[in-house]
Chains A and B, each alone.
Chain A
Amino acid sequence: MNPYEDLDVKLRTLIHLSKKNEDSRRAAVVFYLLIRRVLNESGVKLGFAPLISNKEHKAFEYMNIINSVMQNTFNFKIFHKEIIDKVQKYELLYLRNPMSFPFDSLKELVNIYYDLRKMDVPNVYQSIHDTDYLESSYTTQANNFFIRSNNGRSGIFFKKKDSNHVKQYLSHELSHKEAMIRKKLKNKYDKESFEQLLQYKKLKREIAMGNSKKISFKGQLKNNHLYQESLNEIPGFFLIGLAVVFIMLSIVILIQELFRPEISGAFTLIAFALFGIAIILGFLYWKLYYQEVRNQ
């Protein structure tokens, strides 16, 4: 369903009535405000402050600001120079005398509005925060480096040296892909490529930050596959729990023997045995859960 269907019907009626009455004044006001609205939407979606509703804040200036930031950040421009020039020409014409906007120029104003509306800018907030995005893209592969799985076992630990190699490799891969998309976008803007570029940028940042960043999820956590993988760590935690209990019991026994010289030596063997079992359990955890994940 076209979200602009209702609006387009009204706009057609407005243009028809304007022609009939030979009055372009009202249509000019409407299309000028619509152009500002569509630019405002694009700007906000890209993470810019909204276009403030006063004449001081001109639409073509807003377009220039967006373009310069995009050029600095992504090395391409969202708006072509021709469309900015057109917006500037007709905006200044409208602002100079809004009560007598020429009919011929109204046609241009209508064209500018529809050209801008066709652009369809991606929602930067969504591209950055949405895990659905992540799970359906290249990013998942990278995340899986950090929360790994092997034969049903997984963990959050891995060798720092290995992780650095993975980081370097991924950063290189991503930079290469980024450069290709930037080149493509420089020639012609399209929403999908821009979304991909945003994802790669986000991923590069995450890789640089390591595991310090939390994994965001939408909906119920049980549906997140990274969470599902992390559930495999639970049996390992039973081993840690058992080791902690044995250590606590051996501490109690040994300290009691220090306080009570009359029973000194009676439980020493038990205390050390418990301590030994705790060490074995710790070793088992290290071997079965911790080290295996690190060695992947």
Chain B
Amino acid sequence: MAGTIKGKFARILFLFGLALAFISMFMDWYYYSACSSGSVIAEWSFNAFLSWQTSFIEGISSNEALRPKDSTELLIMGVILIGLVFICAFGAILKSVEMTNSMEETKPYIYLNTFLLMINGYFILVMPFTFLITNELYFPFISIEDLSTNTIHSYCIGPAYVMQVASFLLIFPHILFSVLTINRFESKKRSPETLIAKILESSKEEIPLEKFIAELNSESRSKEDVSIIYEKFQRQRWRRTR
């Protein structure tokens, strides 16, 4: 009973983790701002679908000059992640490993879950190198004073990254458990009864039992008929001779 509760709890956390991963794709991934002489001269935030966004009105040269480089990498990975989130949520609700009668049905969902975990890991481990470091942005947060221009540059990861980390923590136990389960258990493909019945059916020799009974019945009747006719004939002959 306690085991079942743990299983359900892990599945609920998994779904919650999927929801976090989904929401994170619409949140900001990174914040960058620059201050000079106490006033903000540039302010940018990065969203996977909207790229770099600023609260400044367009055309302010200092803001435009300090705009970090664009990246389509998060957009592509984000689209993949959203697709996977829906498939995995469907799998967790309707094709759960513990509810299934056939392991083969759930295996594809478990492999997709593993792929989702890898995408999740990509956002946590790989993205800081491929997106942040190459764009000269810092991880996780820092303020650097540029003495030559007397400007303070502030770098900070956004809530999307934090949500990805939380999502990883929530989906990891369920996925690891599912992978171990499909490696430990296997459902029986065919019941022994069906297997035996199939072999016996293919090797069955027909026994014409009903046909033989019908034949013997009709033979027996015709014999009876002959004996009745013979008896009648004998009776008539006896009467005539008398």
Contacts and interface: CB of A to CB of B under 8 A. Distances in A.
Contacts of B9: 234
Interface in A205-253: 214-222, 224, 226-235, 237-238, 240-242, 244-245, 248-249, 251-253
Given A17-B216, A40-B200, A227-B185, A235 B172 contact: no
A288 interface: no
A234 B215 contact: no
B185 A30 contact: no
- Chain A, interface SS category: helix
A27 B142 CA distance: 98
Contacts of A126: 192-193
B181 interface: yes
Contacts of B203: 40, 44, 50-53
B187 interface: yes
Contact of B213 (A17, A219, A234): A17
- Chain B, interface SS category: helix
A136 to B, nearest CB: 16
Chain B: number of interface residues, binned into ranges: 35 or more
User: Which of B129, B138, B188, B216 has the most A CB atoms < 10 Å from its CB?
Assistant: B216
Interface residues of A, number: 73
Contact of B98 (A29, A33, A227, A260): A227
A252 B172 contact: no
B58 interface: no
Interface of A: 7, 10-11, 13-14, 17-18, 20-21, 23, 26-27, 29-30, 33-34, 36-37, 40-41, 44-45, 50-53, 123, 125-126, 129-130, 147, 152, 156, 214-222, 224, 226-235, 237-238, 240-242, 244-245, 248-249, 251-253, 255-256, 259-260, 262-263, 266
